[in-house]
Structure 1
């Protein structure tokens, strides 16, 4: 059984969520795939603050009640990530970046000494044997251009943990007219279908 964690992060609940829905629907037809879905808007995480960050630096047996509660948030998200084989990120493009809700998730799963470590040769990812799929929905055309800072950011954060097997599906030009939107979404759905077929 291949276990898949799908994260959505659209405040509008629009195009990127539709791509995630399509992925879910196709995966549900397979007996060998199991889906867990987390909506990072409906289950919003607060911005990372110093008390929570500091709680990770304290040995578990020495944490105060407040520190245990704060550290448990990150611990649970990391445990959930590690329990799955494939991570699917359904991501809209907001001001050339990722939604802050998704950044808040990454801030809690990117933990030195847990999901990566520092070495003399630079950071080393500790999350091994996993792959990721990015479903990127954009109003304009950005892929491959200097304005696409989102793709390297996401791949960089995934790579920091050790997840370097990353497939990308773009649905672009979604705000450039109905014909452009329909064509882009159709191509993205087709690409998602091919990805789901290859998951095992």
Structure 2
């Protein structure tokens, strides 16, 4: 986690590659990802515990990345803790 968000290089990669017509398209039912059946593993490190209240609302990176992966059609595999 970088200032409660994504590192700038990862954000630039997402902004450059998550584009309509390239990694997803819109239908009347919402976005459809072009990467169906692919999986992603999100491993996040931070200087504190942001997975528990009251700090969960400060973690903007995990919800954002999860939504990006859903839009492009990837599933997110979460390890059990």
- Shorter-chain TM range is 0.7 to 0.9
Give the aligned partner of residue 153 of structure 1: 64
Q: Which TM-score applies when normalising by structure 2?
A: 0.84
How far the C-alpha of 1:104 sits from its partner, in A, is 0.7
2:44 aligns with 136
Bigger-Rg structure (1/2): 1
Backbone CA RMSD of aligned residues: 1.8
Unaligned runs of 5+ in 1: 1-92, 170-190, 192-200
- Which structure 2 segments of 5+ residues have no match? none
Q: What is the aligned partner in structure 2 of residue 123 from structure 1?
A: 31
Q: Measure, in 1, the Cα distance between the counterparts of 2:22 and 2:8.
A: 22
More contact order relative to length (CA 8 Å, sep ≥ 6) = 2
> CA 1:165–1:134 in 2, change beyond 3 Å: closer, same or farther?
closer
TM-score by length of 1: 0.36
Matched-pair contact (CA < 8 Å) for 2:40–2:76: yes
